A and B are shown apart, each in its own frame.
Chain A
């Protein structure tokens, strides 16, 4: 499975935008970029995914570099509820596996 690299942690302030980076230099052409997050004491929660084009949904935006070797999850206005561990994961279409790394802990300051 292709590997992703994320910072161990980031801090942001409430109501400000936050950009969470992910590097995936060995991504293959069929790999989807998934983001999940895990709030304290809960199971992981799907956030967003994309292949080549930037994506928006009600939770976040995903910006994918033109060469697809990196991506950025954008939370437009961080809230205290966004404090979580964020996982950037590559999956092949039709693959059964999500390979979770250690993720990145986001702290949101009031």
Chain B
């Protein structure tokens, strides 16, 4: 079984709909992240969470919200989806507590392809 799973893997929705993307991890990591990737571009950080009570905005958080329901679960919501939110979304985890040299190596899920019509 994969260590970092994302659901759904593909989603097509309409403008104005509320969408939730879910991420679960079995790695026992404390940190979790949400990124988006647009065609031909690198990944951009949306939100990150250092633990259940610590949520932080990334570089492109507008239009998104997150919830860290448990150490293993981190959800990304689009309250009112718009077409320019069409992208690949990746969840990632890292474990600073175990990373003694504090290099924040991140482990990524398989991604969710979201299309907003």
Contacts and interface: CB of A to CB of B under 8 A. Distances in A.
Interface of A: 32, 34, 41-46, 49, 51, 87, 91, 93-103
Contacts of B43: 44, 98, 100
A94 B104 contact: yes
Given A43-B90, A101-B42, A96 B109 contact: no
Q: Which of A34, A95, A97, A99 has the most CB of B within 10 A?
A: A97
Interface of B: 4, 31, 33, 35, 40-45, 48, 50, 56, 58, 90, 92, 96, 101-111
A43 B44 CA distance: 13
Nearest to B4: A43
A49 B42 CA distance: 19
Given A87-B42, A96-B48, A98-B106, 13 more contacts: A34-B103, A43-B111, A49-B105, A91-B103, A93-B102, A94-B104, A96-B33, A97-B48, A98-B43, A98-B45, A99-B45, A100-B44, A101-B42
Contacts of A51: 101
A42 B4 CA distance: 12
Given A42-B111, A94-B96, A100 B104 contact: no
A110 B4 CA distance: 32
B42 A96 contact: no
Contact of B40 (A45, A87, A102): A102
B41 A102 contact: yes
A97 B57 CA distance: 11
Given A94-B96, A97-B45, A100-B43, A34 B105 contact: yes
5 contacts: A46-B107, A93-B101, A96-B104, A97-B58, A102-B40
A96 B41 contact: no
A100 B100 CA distance: 23
A44 B107 CA distance: 8
A42 B102 contact: no
B104 A91 contact: yes
Given A34-B103, A93-B103, A44 B108 contact: yes
A43 B42 contact: no
A46 B94 CA distance: 11
